[in-house]
């Protein structure tokens, strides 16, 4: 076993070391389910084990972290990016495993939302011998793009030119040895440099490390894109999704309390007189028999007793409905703050109560947030196409354009404003822009096929050209 190989399996970037625990919690919150409820639900100091077990069993989880992460991605990719000149086969199978370009970029976007960082790799499948066009088509020998979370990227380094010098990926895997032999678990680490790709495996149990694959690509650059949000880790700050998870956890615990209050309203808490309790503790059974046992556990859902001076009457008590309403009101406030923290909220609970200036500011806030994300995705995808072209010069680098106009305002008011704009006189360029805006709003009502969209744009151009010639 090479000592350098062993060191390779212990490498951890400082950003990975500092944020690994937070990333794992974010991943668990995004996944949700009973496993996460067991992690996030907090047991009260006064709660006995049996009572907490019931609350844990009843608890349910509103997965706001996943909703937020997916909502941002759905807004950014609500309009399909333009890829003028792209090879259709690659657009339809960007990952070489059936994922389209939009789907790979959707994964990448969601990873950025959850972790604040993510990577895309562009790699060729392993092959031997010469490759002609027929073999390339038959064996689908072409670059493929895959998205990775930062949890799968233990270490990396940038060179003096500001580009990646190397990057290391970690992938646990199960190796199948056929139906008559047991499978083995291995930990795989893949090293990408500017000239080659190497794959190492460490076998579980024995700890033996082997170099199982090595191939030169000679691209002169690392075939990967690693991005972090510039206003997060780019400023040496934590990612906002950690706060999203904490607010979501508070909602989970509050909702669990509200749920148990509802249960206790239906099944009240028994209160007995102190004299009855004392009598029960001292009473005995029939002559010669064992004394009657009376036990009491102090807990929120166990019976209480009181002295005759206080009440002296056995009864049931339960939380009032006002307590539950207060908890639910607090949760509603937390939900609004949750979306506002991310920048995806129209702040006031009642949009009718907002002024025109307030609405405009809220819409602007959401649009700018989404535009920044669209810019990151556009640059990342363009880099992937450029890497593909380095592998195969026959692959064209398309012109990539992500949508930056997001319909967060009311469609009705937008159309009314457009109608008013058409009344103003203007040149051909002005009328062309009005027509393009109308096409954009039309797509918010009904999705237009990309081929038809190009035809409509061509008609707009030719129509404006004819009008200009007639005016002259």
pLDDT, tens digit (0-9, with 9 covering 90-100), for 195-207 = 999 999 887 777 7
pLDDT of the residue at 357: 43
Question: Could you tell me the end-to-end alpha-carbon distance of the chain, in angstroms, rounded to an integer?
Answer: 82
* φ, ψ at 371 (rounded to 5°): -65, -40
Query: Span 110-124, mean pLDDT?
Result: 94
Percent of the chain with pLDDT over 90: 37
For residue 16, pLDDT over 90 is answered with: yes
pLDDT of the residue at 186: 83
* φ, ψ at 399 (rounded to 5°): -85, 115
Identify which of 267-281, 295-309, 384-398 has the greatest average pLDDT: 384-398
Its pTM stands at 0.75
Q: Give the distance between the most distant pair of CA atoms in the chain.
A: 122
pLDDT of the residue at 327: 87
pLDDT of the residue at 355: 47
User: Any idea what DSSP says for residue 310?
Assistant: T
d(CA 232, CA 424): 44
Percent of the chain with pLDDT over 70: 69
């Amino acid at each position: 076993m090479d000592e350098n190989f062993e060191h390779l399996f212990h490498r951890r970037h400082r950003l990975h070391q500092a944020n690994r625990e937070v990333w794992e919690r974010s991943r668990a919150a995004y996944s949700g389910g009973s496993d996460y409820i067991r992690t996030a639900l907090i047991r009260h100091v006064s709660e006995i084990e049996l009572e907490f077990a019931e609350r844990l069993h009843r608890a349910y989880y509103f997965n706001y972290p996943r909703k937020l992460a997916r909502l941002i991605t759905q807004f950014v990719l609500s309009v399909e990016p333009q890829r003028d000149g792209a090879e259709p086969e690659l657009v339809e199978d960007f990952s070489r495993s059936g994922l389209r370009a939009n789907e790979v970029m959707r994964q990448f976007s969601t990873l950025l939302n959850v972790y604040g960082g993510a990577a895309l790799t562009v790699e060729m499948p392993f092959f031997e011998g010469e490759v002609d066009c027929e073999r390339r088509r038959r064996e689908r020998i072409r670059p493929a793009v895959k998205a990775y979370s930062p949890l799968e990227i233990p270490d990396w380094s940038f060179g003096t030119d500001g580009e990646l010098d190397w990057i290391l990926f970690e992938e646990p895997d199960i190796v199948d040895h056929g139906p008559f032999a047991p499978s083995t678990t291995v930990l795989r680490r893949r090293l990408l440099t500017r000239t080659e790709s190497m794959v190492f495996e460490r076998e579980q149990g024995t700890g033996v490390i082997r170099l199982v694959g090595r191939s030169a690509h000679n691209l002169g650059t690392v075939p990967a894109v690693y991005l972090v949000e510039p206003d997060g880790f780019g400023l040496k700050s934590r990612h906002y999704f950690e706060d999203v998870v904490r607010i979501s956890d508070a909602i989970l615990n509050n909702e669990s309390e509200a749920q148990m209050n509802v249960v206790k309203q239906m099944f009240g808490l028994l209160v007995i007189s102190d004299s009855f309790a004392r009598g029960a503790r001292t009473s005995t059974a029939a002559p010669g028999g064992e004394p009657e046992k009376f036990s009491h556990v102090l807990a929120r859902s166990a019976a209480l007793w009181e002295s005759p001076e206080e009440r002296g009457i056995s009864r049931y008590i339960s939380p009032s409905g006002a307590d539950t309403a207060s908890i639910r009101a607090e949760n509603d406030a937390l939900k609004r703050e949750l979306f506002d923290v991310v920048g995806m909220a129209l702040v006031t609970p009642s949009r009718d109560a907002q002024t025109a200036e307030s609405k405009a500011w809220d819409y602007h806030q959401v649009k700018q947030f989404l535009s920044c994300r669209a810019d990151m995705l556009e640059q990342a995808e363009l880099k992937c196409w450029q890497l593909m072209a380095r592998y195969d010069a026959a692959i064209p680098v398309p012109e990539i354009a992500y949508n930056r106009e997001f319909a967060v305002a009311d469609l009705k008011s937008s159309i009314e404003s457009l109608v008013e704009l058409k009344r103003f006189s203007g040149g051909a360029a002005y009328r062309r822009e009005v027509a393009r805006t109308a096409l954009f709003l039309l797509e918010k009502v009904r999705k237009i096929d990309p081929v038809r969209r190009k035809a409509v744009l061509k008609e707009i151009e030719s129509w404006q050209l004819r009008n200009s010639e007639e005016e002259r």
